[in-house]
Amino acid sequence: MLMSTPTPIYQKLLAAIENGDLRPGDRLLETDLAQRFGVSRTPIREAIRRLETDGLVAHKPRVGAMIRVLAQQEIVELYEMRIVLEATAAQMAAKHASKAEIHTLKTLNAQMMQVATDPYKVAMLNRKFHGCILSAARNRFLAQSHNSLSHALVLLGKTTLESSERVKDVVSQHDAIVEALKSGQPEQAAKIMRTHMEASLEHRLNALQLDG
């Protein structure tokens, strides 16, 4: 059964979760959201139902709909799968990436440094960077597996790329990945990507402890 096309309100709610405006644990009050987006409660209700189907929203007794909160172990498990898929994508991209894709990766990485003080823009460029590597891997089944994690990744909440120093470190790691892709070193590309994603997990868990 094919899913219907996501509604504009669904997309807006998804973006709000992704950029941290709505965080895990936040209640989704239909009246407030309807006022916020200038619509009736009906499209809000429909969007919340779809988010629940996607596993992003849970209903809690006496509380109602709320953004689902991932337990620390779930975050670790999610990253374990992400590390496997991202490292595999880098390995394959080292064999198949075109000159145009290498150029795109370098451009995206340079843009990340240029907007280092804007976490939302940095996160968006970071997603494009990793998406480009996934595309360069030339494996539709790998892409499908990665896409299946996309909804869960949204539940991680706001980006950890919130300081210029952190962005600088990530850009440096990206540079190393791009060089491995450019020189056609599959194992090296996979190794660097794995280290890069493990560092991301460490920052995510540290942020979780600080928030707690």
Binned at pLDDT 50, 70 and 90, residue 9 comes out as very high
What CA–CA distance (Å, rounded) separates 100 from 10? 34
Mean pLDDT of the chain: 93
Beta strands 57-60 and 64-67: pairing type?
antiparallel
Kindly tell me if the per-residue pLDDT of 212 is higher than 60.
no
What CA–CA distance (Å, rounded) separates 29 from 26? 9
Average pLDDT over residues 162-191: 97
Binned at pLDDT 50, 70 and 90, residue 210 comes out as low
Picking from 69, 75, 7, 76, the residue whose alpha carbon sits closest to that of residue 42 is: 7
- Write the pLDDT tens digit of every residue in 50-73: 999 988 999 999 899 999 999 999
- Write the pLDDT tens digit of every residue in 92-123: 999 999 999 999 999 999 999 999 999 989 99
Kindly tell me if the per-residue pLDDT of 74 is higher than 70.
yes
Average pLDDT over residues 31-38: 96
Question: Can you give the pLDDT at residue 1?
Answer: 38
pTM over 0.75: yes
| 151 vs 131 pLDDT, higher one | 131
Average pLDDT over residues 170-180: 98
What CA–CA distance (Å, rounded) separates 20 from 154? 9
- Count of residues in the chain: 212
Least confident of 33-42, 99-108, 156-165: 156-165
